Chains A and B, each alone.
Chain A
């Protein structure tokens, strides 16, 4: 439990991951014994298998989280802001946030006028993000000095445990990072046929540049991407949402490698692990979509954990699913064999 809380408390607003790097670097270094940071801020570590000409599997999850970015300082300590990543502005009023200033953090809240003084029309509307302000209670001189235009703002995180679930802001995709690191811990003590490269990547929520650049530097034979996917809640009418507690979700789609996707399904079957299938017709919305076309092509597979209330401050996921996910990706990576695609061409460097 410790590791997940440590990861959740690291502030890594998408695009501003630098501030998180030293902390996360230590965590990755402690687990893998080696860690490398590239120009973008992706953190990678390798578990070598010690064999010649062994293939490389990239085990990857993004560690950036959605957040806000400051746009201006108004009278009496109010701060205006814009979203970084897919923020649902309906969930902002009532949120507690932390503004990350130059040398210190400021606590803030996002409030609204009370319902008593609103008209019936106003009650029905959601306030647009441009009109919302963060109330910091700090005097303007200090804010002007400490919070320049474009400072990152994250949600104040409270980790809660209930009903076999964990609820916090940023589980998308800190829980993925947790799964990857937990799998790495197990893989370190297992006999391997392939080198495992763990990559925690940046900027997935703001343009997916991290996964792409990490894959370019690693040039793996295959990438297994771990991310969050939508879980069913009572108000969902959708047909395709996944169940919390139903096990890891293996994604099928035209942008994913069929052979490795089938291999994941077979691995889950051989372990008697319950799993779920989801289908994405086009862009699957994760790093897997951009990694596949890097260099001369990197076959990708995608496996996710079901997450309720994605991109809200109360994202919720189940430990049971996470545990099964870790077992699945560990087993898949440990037994990885390079498949010689027909006329498989040696990759260009």
Chain B
């Protein structure tokens, strides 16, 4: 795991630090391009069909909408954030200014909304707060996010793959958290035949949890994502690859779109799309928990797929 990558500051639309890291890492290894939105694409090459693998480099953020007269900040969520999980979280702005999220509403827990929360950055008036931050500034949770976990996997794959049956492209995309946006221009430029999204997904195998996805249950193969059924032939290819190489996998069907696969499926001229996910407990909180076993499973599954299928 490339830990430095997880510590970078990269809220949606401010991913420059993460994109720079990736370009720097790939310097002398492969040629990279960055598009107008900021996504980094790498063409590895090879013969065969065009295969694009993608992982996003942004992370959910809190965006200041209003600074009140006592120096407290109100915010909107840029990304999928659960207001209850945000309470009492430490948040960090771009220039290391820290704050914490609190809630003072007299409400039932289930009724608490983002608009009931505020950030305290230890400023005691609007003037004092405006010296540190301004409206539109973004903060990330805890200063460390596993959102870029899958970028690390892709970087390792780039290092390890020597030959494949495909014309290989890798993309490190921006603005996934605000509506799977960064992937669209990448698809328009690369126009792949096959697209594989690599992403993190919530493992809800906790008391009163709702999902079937388990931490340490192996790589997650998505069969359906939101309203899109992902390519059944790719799903069965992955199933076979996993079986042949004894990679532990689990299957999932998402009611809400979780990955870039549905977006890529119908962008430009269309592509066969699949999504492989790594389960994360307490996703998008300061206490994200992962298992090395799942990361290894996801990586080996994709590696075998690229080199064998």
Q: Is B235 an interface residue (CB 8 A)?
A: no
A343 touches B14 (CB 8 A): no
Q: Specify the chain A residue showing the minimal Cβ separation from B39.
A: A297
* B-side contacts of A48, CB under 8 Å: none
- Beyond A240-B65, A253-B63, whether A258 also contacts B189 by CB under 8 A is no
* B-side contacts of A279, CB under 8 Å: 63-66, 76, 135-136
Q: Is A36 an interface residue (CB 8 A)?
A: no
- Mask: chain B, 119-149; 1 = CB below 8 Å from A; 0 = not: 0000000000000000110100000000000
Tell me, in angstroms, the Cα distance from A313 to B132 when the chains sit together. 43
Q: Is B6 an interface residue (CB 8 A)?
A: no
List CB contacts (< 8 Å) of A275-320 with chain B: 277-283, 289, 292-299
Tell me, in angstroms, the Cα distance from A280 to B13 when the chains sit together. 13
* A-side contacts of B208, CB under 8 Å: none
Tell me, in angstroms, the Cα distance from A255 to B182 when the chains sit together. 10
Q: Specify the chain B residue showing the minimal Cβ separation from A251.
A: B136
How many Å from the CB of A260 to the closest CB on chain B? 11
Other-chain residue from A254, A280, A341 in contact with B36 (beta carbon distance below 8 A):
A341
Most interface-central of B16, B36, B63, B181 (chain A CB within 10 A): B36
A282 touches B135 (CB 8 A): no
B35 touches A297 (CB 8 A): yes
- Beyond A254-B175, A255-B178, A281-B76, whether A239 also contacts B66 by CB under 8 A is yes
A344 touches B12 (CB 8 A): no
* B-side contacts of A258, CB under 8 Å: 13-14
Q: Specify the chain B residue showing the minimal Cβ separation from A276.
A: B135
A343 touches B23 (CB 8 A): yes
* B-side contacts of A344, CB under 8 Å: 34, 36
How many chain-A residues does the 8 Å CB contact rule pick out?
33
Tell me, in angstroms, the Cα distance from A283 to B177 when the chains sit together. 11
A239 touches B14 (CB 8 A): no
Interface size class of B (residues with CB under 8 A): 35 or more
B77 touches A293 (CB 8 A): no
List CB contacts (< 8 Å) of B1-53 with chain A: 11-14, 16, 19-20, 23, 32-39
* A-side contacts of B63, CB under 8 Å: 252-254, 279, 281
Q: Is B223 an interface residue (CB 8 A)?
A: no
Q: Specify the chain A residue showing the minimal Cβ separation from B68.
A: A239
List CB contacts (< 8 Å) of B58-80 with chain A: 61, 63-66, 68, 74-79
B65 touches A254 (CB 8 A): no
Q: Is A52 an interface residue (CB 8 A)?
A: no
Tell me, in angstroms, the Cα distance from A110 to B100 when the chains sit together. 52
* B-side contacts of A293, CB under 8 Å: 37, 181-182, 184-185
- Beyond A254-B175, A277-B136, whether A343 also contacts B65 by CB under 8 A is no
Tell me, in angstroms, the Cα distance from A342 to B39 when the chains sit together. 11
Q: Is B289 an interface residue (CB 8 A)?
A: no
B13 touches A296 (CB 8 A): no
A240 touches B36 (CB 8 A): no
Other-chain residue from B16, B37, B138, B188 in contact with A292 (beta carbon distance below 8 A):
B37
- Beyond A279-B64, A282-B76, whether A254 also contacts B178 by CB under 8 A is yes
* B-side contacts of A347, CB under 8 Å: 36
B36 touches A277 (CB 8 A): no
Q: Is A348 an interface residue (CB 8 A)?
A: yes
A239 touches B76 (CB 8 A): no
* B-side contacts of A278, CB under 8 Å: 65
- Mask: chain B, 212-245; 1 = CB below 8 Å from A; 0 = not: 0000000000000000000000000000000000
- Beyond A255-B13, A282-B77, whether A295 also contacts B185 by CB under 8 A is yes
Q: Specify the chain A residue showing the minimal Cβ separation from B12.
A: A254
Q: Is B270 an interface residue (CB 8 A)?
A: no
* B-side contacts of A252, CB under 8 Å: 63, 135-136
Q: Is B83 an interface residue (CB 8 A)?
A: no
Tell me, in angstroms, the Cα distance from A282 to B65 when the chains sit together. 12
A297 touches B185 (CB 8 A): yes
B34 touches A256 (CB 8 A): no
B36 touches A299 (CB 8 A): yes
Tell me, in angstroms, the Cα distance from A347 to B33 when the chains sit together. 12
Tell me, in angstroms, the Cα distance from A222 to B39 when the chains sit together. 17
List CB contacts (< 8 Å) of B275-299 with chain A: none
* A-side contacts of B184, CB under 8 Å: 293-294
* B-side contacts of A342, CB under 8 Å: 16, 19-20, 34
Other-chain residue from B33, B65, B138, B181 in contact with A239 (beta carbon distance below 8 A):
B65
* B-side contacts of A120, CB under 8 Å: none
Other-chain residue from A239, A255, A281, A341 in contact with B38 (beta carbon distance below 8 A):
A341
* A-side contacts of B20, CB under 8 Å: 342
* A-side contacts of B35, CB under 8 Å: 296-297, 345
- Mask: chain A, 244-258; 1 = CB below 8 Å from B; 0 = not: 000000001111111
List CB contacts (< 8 Å) of B244-303 with chain A: none
B33 touches A255 (CB 8 A): no
Q: B residues touching A (Cβ–Cβ < 8 Å)?
A: 11-14, 16, 19-20, 23, 32-39, 61, 63-66, 68, 74-79, 135-136, 138, 175, 177-179, 181-182, 184-185, 188-189
17 sampled A-B residue pairs with Cβ under 8 A: A239-B66, A252-B63, A254-B12, A254-B14, A255-B175, A258-B13, A277-B136, A279-B64, A289-B179, A293-B182, A296-B185, A297-B36, A299-B37, A342-B19, A343-B33, A345-B33, A345-B36
13 further A-B contacts with Cβ under 8 Å, apart from A257-B13, A341-B38, are A239-B74, A240-B65, A255-B13, A281-B76, A282-B78, A292-B37, A293-B185, A294-B184, A294-B185, A295-B188, A342-B20, A343-B34, A347-B36
